[in-house]
């Protein structure tokens, strides 16, 4: 497609060297993957390594411009050997053997091309032998890398991050009897309206994955969740217990729901219910950079009524949070960072209690919990259940799905709703002391007798045919529908419907507890804190930016501001400016993805809880990111600009800094937008690759603007990198009258109307060279337009993020 030599030998050498280089790079990066402990560390090392390859391969900086102190990087660089091989392979072919004489020098067209690339030895262009030398270097290099990967995998072991050690000490001080029998004396002061929640004939259907029909997951389920009591939703896997809780809690956004839910006899309203309820997910997600107390306070400040405050302070809310911390026994870890499994932090059980605390901070009337004891040992499970029991003792309603609980955990519940596969109820009612009521019901209806000491939770599942050795010969769903328990439940539901008390109706004036500007301020403060405590993201990118700035600039330390430029020197300078904004932009975009993913997933949780909407997060993302963009850009430009020796004028520096900052902001904010609109990192990385690829190819260096015709000219005008690169070049070199010596036979040479027979060097100015190099497309008159267009790209990226946060919700619903 690009018109390379149509020769089989040249073609297969081209293919083989690319395959060899691909294998070398894969193994080279695998060395570091086997040695470093975290993905973020590997990302930083890989980015820096790729930069070294690009900078010292002979394309960005010509070999004859690379200073002596960096020549070793050029000769070590596998990409340099590959690039040199590809260039020599092409320009020593028969398509380039036309003989020309320029300035008294006779050579083929291909040899003149090699001379212009700087691929010379003793002033003679490289020959075909450099193709063989490339393979002689790459293949042993590949074997060495493979060996080092094996060494790393064999001898380097990464230990998992240690969890919080305090938990075991705390739990160890309390024996099981204490956990079961301790009197629940702690209370919560904030007022709330007790809720008796009834649900009647709840059915839920979804589209079947095969056949085009529907699948009924819940079948006419009725029940009651009473205030001051704790109800367990149980059943075999796939019976619909979590589905039922999600339907009641208004967490389902797909499928068809029928039936009705009432609070104190009044029909459930979405706006009201979200504010008076809490929902603790099985695998909850919290911001890892915040402390336990900060996490709970954020929930309290956003979800409690402003009327609770004393004037403009939050003393009452702070006291309320302190009570929650005491009830859930989080005191010893109050100032601990939540952390992650990779980097360390709270234990799994501590995170469970923290999630409960976050929901309790809203002072809800009813709390739903999905599998609160799953993944916990018996001690940790009892500690969580003790916390739930204390919440129940305050008069709040607690409903939890539970799977395979121990006898001690199971008997801490007051009521049970038991489902069988197909979403049908087989039992609803009070458990009784030591599950006596439950056992009596099933034994009196033909169930096998419960053995002494047998876990009642396991026994009942076996009886209804949901256990490992269950007997499903009896239809317990039908038996339940004809039982007195079912009739009594229907009477209670009917009574609640027909005689609702207006005094017990829960109403709110607005969807959110806090005003719009308060939500924005709280979210912005939270994100700024998260960014400040993310050194692997912000400190790392700032430090890497400074290192890269010095590395790029140091290439020209010995050639700063020469009185006469050669074409290769200017080409290398243009290329270095190009790679500077590309590599920093790429690093910014790639590094923002995992940070944005975590922030987005926590936002989904906050939105479902009625804490805030997409607008608050969108604004906070801009606020938190922009200060680090400005800092990173300023530090990079200060180091790079004066090290490389660009124009000393203040106006020129501000122009360079401004366009560079625009570029960094566009890359960062588009990274946020991409992560907001797709489910996971792999897809976001693909979008970033497309964005980066367009900027690489069509910014004006790799393919210069004068060579983009027809359809491809569109890509030049829609590419933000074009406007950045033009701004960076024009602010530095427009009206620069420094002398440039034209290379004989080059495009610039002929644009200056030089002849092949003249004896004196052909000279022009930097200003003329810029005009020639970019085909007259880079002009000072374009600067204002470029600024406006880049501002437009910035606005589009922000609007894209707002739209995606509003439109998408990548959680299972």
Q: Dump pLDDT digits (tens) for 397-432.
A: 999 999 889 999 999 999 999 999 999 999 999 999
Residue ranges of alpha helices (H) inside 678-757 are 681-698, 712-718, 720-733, 747-751
Q: Is 185 helix (H, G, I), strand (E, B) or coil?
A: coil
Q: What's the pLDDT score for residue 169? A: 46
Residue 50 lies in a domain: yes
Residue at which a domain ends, from 504, 535, 556: 504
pLDDT at 379 over 80: yes
Residues comprising the chain, all counted: 813
pLDDT digits (tens, 9 = 90+) for 631-665: 999 999 999 999 999 999 999 999 999 999 999 99
Q: What's the pLDDT score for residue 474? A: 83
Of 544, 604, 623, residue with least CA distance to 580: 544
CB atoms within 10 A of CB 24: 23
Q: Sign (positive/negative) of CA torsion 731, 736, 739, 743? A: positive
Do 322 and 450 belong to one domain? yes
Going by pLDDT thresholds of 50, 70 and 90, the confidence category of residue 808 is very high
Of 197, 196, 363, residue with least CA distance to 275: 363
pLDDT digits (tens, 9 = 90+) for 279-310: 999 988 999 999 999 999 999 999 998 877 65
The stretch 50-68 carries a mean pLDDT of: 92
Do 246 and 298 belong to one domain? yes
Q: Which residues of 464-474 are buried (b: 16+ CB within 10 A; e: fewer)?
A: bbbeeeeeeeb
pLDDT at 682 over 50: yes
pLDDT at 331 over 60: yes
Residue 329 lies in a domain: yes
Going by pLDDT thresholds of 50, 70 and 90, the confidence category of residue 115 is confident
pLDDT at 795 over 90: yes
Q: What's the pLDDT score for residue 314? A: 72
Do 209 and 153 belong to one domain? no
Long-range contacts of 32-40 (CB under 8 A, 24+ apart): 34/149, 34/152, 34/153, 34/156, 35/152, 35/156, 37/158, 38/342, 38/343, 38/536, 39/342, 39/594, 40/536, 40/537, 40/540, 40/594
Q: Which tokens go with 690?
A: 């497309």
- What is d(CA 414, CA 433) in angstroms, rounded to the nearest whole number? 9
Do 181 and 97 belong to one domain? no
Contacts of 394 (CB under 8 A, 6+ apart): 187, 188
In which residue are the tokens 């085909």 written? 775
Contact 211, 351 (CB under 8 A): no
Residue 210 lies in a domain: yes
Do 151 and 189 belong to one domain? no
pLDDT at 71 over 60: yes
Q: Give the CATH number of the domain where residue 335 resides.
A: 3.40.50.300
Do 45 and 90 belong to one domain? yes
Q: What's the pLDDT score for residue 622? A: 96
Do 192 and 132 belong to one domain? no
Residue 12 dihedral angles phi and psi, to the nearest 5°: -70, -35
- What is d(CA 771, CA 102) in angstroms, rounded to the nearest whole number? 23
Q: What's the pLDDT score for residue 176? A: 45
Of 100-104, 239-243, 770-774, the poorest mean pLDDT is in 100-104
Going by pLDDT thresholds of 50, 70 and 90, the confidence category of residue 112 is confident
pLDDT digits (tens, 9 = 90+) for 665-674: 999 999 999 9
The stretch 31-47 carries a mean pLDDT of: 82
Residue 264 dihedral angles phi and psi, to the nearest 5°: 55, 35
The stretch 448-469 carries a mean pLDDT of: 86
- What is d(CA 488, CA 483) in angstroms, rounded to the nearest whole number? 9
Q: What's the pLDDT score for residue 161? A: 54
The stretch 202-223 carries a mean pLDDT of: 92
Residue 72 dihedral angles phi and psi, to the nearest 5°: -60, -35
pLDDT at 276 over 60: yes
Residue 791 lies in a domain: no
Q: Which residues of 597-636 are buried (b: 16+ CB within 10 A; e: fewer)?
A: bbbbebbebbbbbbbbbbebbbbbbbbbbeebbeebbeeb
Q: What's the pLDDT score for residue 180? A: 44
Angle formed by the axes of helices 650-677 and 720-733, nearest 10°:
170
In the sheet with 564-566, reading across from the earlier edge strand, the strands are 564-566, 739-741, 763-765
Q: Sign (positive/negative) of CA torsion 283, 286, 288, 294? A: negative
Going by pLDDT thresholds of 50, 70 and 90, the confidence category of residue 754 is confident
Going by pLDDT thresholds of 50, 70 and 90, the confidence category of residue 471 is low
Residue 299 lies in a domain: yes
pLDDT digits (tens, 9 = 90+) for 698-748: 999 999 999 998 888 899 999 999 999 999 999 999 999 999 999 888 889
Do 143 and 186 belong to one domain? no
- What is d(CA 588, CA 582) in angstroms, rounded to the nearest whole number? 10
pLDDT at 675 over 50: yes
Do 362 and 422 belong to one domain? yes
CB atoms within 10 A of CB 721: 25
- What is d(CA 53, CA 555) in angstroms, rounded to the nearest whole number? 14
pLDDT digits (tens, 9 = 90+) for 603-635: 999 999 999 999 999 999 999 999 999 999 999
Contact 672, 592 (CB under 8 A): yes
Q: What's the pLDDT score for residue 536? A: 78
Residue 4 lies in a domain: yes
pLDDT at 570 over 70: yes
The stretch 318-332 carries a mean pLDDT of: 92
Residue 465 lies in a domain: yes
Give how far Cα 103 sits from Cα of 107, 447, 754, Å. Answer: 11, 106, 10
185, burial (CB in 10 Å: exposed 0-12, middle 13-18, buried 19+) = exposed
pLDDT at 174 over 50: no
* DSSP state letter for 367: E
Going by pLDDT thresholds of 50, 70 and 90, the confidence category of residue 760 is confident
pLDDT at 44 over 70: yes
List 741's β-bridge partners, or say none: 566, 763
Between 42 and 689, name the one with better pLDDT: 689
* DSSP state letter for 700: S
Residue 58 lies in a domain: yes
353, burial (CB in 10 Å: exposed 0-12, middle 13-18, buried 19+) = buried
Mean pLDDT: which of 52-66, 313-327, 423-437 is highest? 423-437
Q: Give DSSP secondary structure letters for 142-175.
A: HHHHHHHHHHHHHH--PPPPPB-THHHHHHHTS-
Do 261 and 409 belong to one domain? yes
Mean pLDDT of all residues in the chain? 90
The stretch 789-797 carries a mean pLDDT of: 98
Residue at which a domain ends, from 159, 193, 210: 159
The stretch 555-582 carries a mean pLDDT of: 92
Contacts of 527 (CB under 8 A, 6+ apart): 599, 620, 621, 623, 624
* DSSP state letter for 213: -
Residue at which a domain ends, from 458, 480, 504: 504
Domains held by the chain: number: 2
Q: What's the pLDDT score for residue 181? A: 44
Do 198 and 305 belong to one domain? yes
Of 313-322, 424-433, 491-500, 564-573, the poorest mean pLDDT is in 313-322
Do 180 and 316 belong to one domain? yes
Which DSSP helix (H) or strand (E) runs through 286? none
Q: 76: domain range?
A: 1-159
Of 14-18, 125-129, 228-232, the poorest mean pLDDT is in 125-129
- What is d(CA 382, CA 583) in angstroms, rounded to the nearest whole number? 52
Q: What's the pLDDT score for residue 560? A: 85
Query: What is the C-alpha radius of gyration for the chain, rounded to an integer number of angstroms?
Result: 35
pLDDT at 758 over 80: no
- What is d(CA 11, CA 301) in angstroms, rounded to the nearest whole number? 67
- Please measure the distance between the N-terminal and C-terminal CA atoms of the chain and give it in whole angstroms: 47
């Amino acid at each position: 497609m690009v018109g390379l030599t149509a020769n089989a030998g040249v073609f297969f050498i081209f293919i083989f060297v690319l395959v060899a280089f691909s294998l070398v790079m894969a193994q080279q990066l695998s060395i570091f993957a086997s040695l470093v402990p975290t993905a973020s560390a590997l990302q930083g090392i890989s980015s820096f390594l790729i930069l070294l390859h690009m900078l010292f391969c002979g394309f960005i900086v010509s070999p004859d411009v690379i200073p002596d102190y960096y020549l070793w990087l050029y000769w070590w660089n596998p990409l340099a050997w590959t690039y040199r091989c590809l260039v020599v392979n092409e320009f020593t072919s028969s398509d380039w053997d036309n003989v020309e004489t320029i300035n008294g020098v006779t050579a083929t067209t291909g040899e003149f091309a090699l001379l212009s690339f700087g691929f010379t030895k003793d002033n003679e262009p490289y020959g075909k032998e450099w193709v063989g030398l490339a393979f002689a270097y790459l293949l042993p290099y590949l074997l060495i890398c493979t060996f080092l990967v094996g060494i790393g995998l064999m001898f380097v072991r990464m230990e998992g991050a240690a969890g919080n050690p305090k938990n075991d000490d705390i739990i160890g001080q309390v024996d099981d009897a204490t956990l079961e029998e301790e009197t629940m004396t702690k209370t919560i002061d904030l007022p709330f309206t007790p809720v008796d929640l009834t649900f009647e004939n709840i059915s839920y259907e979804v589209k079947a994955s095969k056949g085009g029909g529907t699948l009924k997951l819940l079948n006419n389920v009725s029940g009651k969740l009473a205030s001051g009591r704790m109800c367990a939703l149980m059943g075999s896997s796939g019976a619909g217990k979590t589905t039922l809780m999600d339907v009641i809690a208004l967490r389902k956004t797909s499928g068809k729901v029928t039936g009705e839910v009432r609070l104190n006899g009044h029909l459930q309203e979405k706006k009201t219910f979200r504010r008076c309820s809490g929902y603790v997910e099985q695998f909850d997600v919290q911001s890892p950079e915040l402390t336990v107390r900060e996490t709970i306070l954020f929930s309290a400040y956003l979800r409690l009524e402003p009327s609770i405050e004393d004037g403009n302070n939050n003393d009452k809310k702070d006291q309320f949070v302190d009570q929650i911390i005491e009830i859930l026994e989080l005191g010893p870890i109050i100032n601990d960072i939540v952390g992650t499994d990779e980097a360390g932090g709270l234990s799994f059980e501590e995170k469970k209690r923290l999630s409960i605390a976050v929901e309790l901070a809203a002072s809800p009337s009813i709390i739903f919990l999905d599998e609160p004891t799953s993944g916990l040992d018996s001690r940790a499970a009892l500690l969580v259940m003790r916390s739930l029991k204390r919440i129940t003792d305050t008069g709040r309603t607690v409903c939890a799905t539970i799977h395979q609980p121990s006898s001690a955990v199971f008997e801490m519940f007051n009521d049970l709703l038991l489902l069988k596969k197909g979403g049908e109820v087989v039992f609803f009612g009070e458990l009784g002391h030591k599950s006596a009521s439950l056992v009596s019901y099933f034994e009196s209806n033909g169930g096998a007798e419960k053995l002494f000491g047998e876990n009642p939770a396991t026994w009942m599942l076996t009886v209804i045919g949901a256990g490992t050795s269950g007997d499903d010969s009896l239809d317990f769903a039908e038996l339940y529908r004809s039982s007195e328990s079912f009739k009594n439940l229907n009477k209670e539901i009917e009574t609640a419907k027909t005689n609702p008390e207006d005094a017990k109706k829960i109403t709110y004036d607005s969807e959110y507890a806090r005003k719009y500007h308060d939500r924005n301020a709280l979210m912005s403060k939270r994100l700024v804190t998260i960014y400040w405590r993310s050194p692997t993201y912000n400190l790392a990118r700032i430090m890497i930016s400074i290192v890269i700035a010095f590395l790029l600039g140091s290439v020209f330390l010995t050639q700063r501001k020469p009185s006469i430029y050669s074409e290769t020197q200017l080409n290398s300078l243009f290329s270095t400016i190009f790679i500077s904004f590309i590599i920093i932009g790429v690093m910014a975009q790639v590094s923002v993805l995992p940070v944005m993913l975590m922030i987005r997933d926590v936002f989904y949780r906050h939105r479902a809880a009625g804490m805030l909407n997409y607008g608050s997060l969108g604004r906070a993302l801009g606020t938190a990111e922009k200060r680090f963009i400005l800092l990173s850009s300023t530090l990079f430009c200060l180091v790079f600009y004066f090290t490389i020796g660009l124009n000393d004028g203040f106006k020129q520096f501000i122009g360079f800094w401004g366009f560079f900052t625009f570029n960094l902001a566009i890359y960062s904010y588009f990274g946020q937008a991409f992560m907001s609109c797709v489910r996971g990192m792999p897809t976001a990385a693909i979008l970033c690759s497309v964005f980066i690829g367009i900027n690489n190819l069509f910014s004006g260096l790799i393919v210069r603007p004068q060579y983009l015709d027809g359809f491809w000219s569109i890509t030049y005008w829609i590419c933000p990198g074009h406007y950045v690169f033009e701004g960076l070049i024009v602010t530095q070199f427009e009206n620069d009258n420094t002398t440039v010596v034209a290379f004989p036979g080059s495009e610039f040479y002929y644009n200056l109307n030089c002849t092949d027979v003249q004896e004196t060097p052909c000279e022009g100015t930097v200003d003329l060279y810029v005009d020639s190099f970019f085909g007259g497309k880079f002009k000072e008159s374009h600067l204002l337009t470029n600024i406006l267009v880049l501002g437009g790209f910035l606005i589009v990226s922000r609007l894209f993020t707002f739209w995606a946060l509003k439109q998408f919700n990548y959680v299972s619903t």
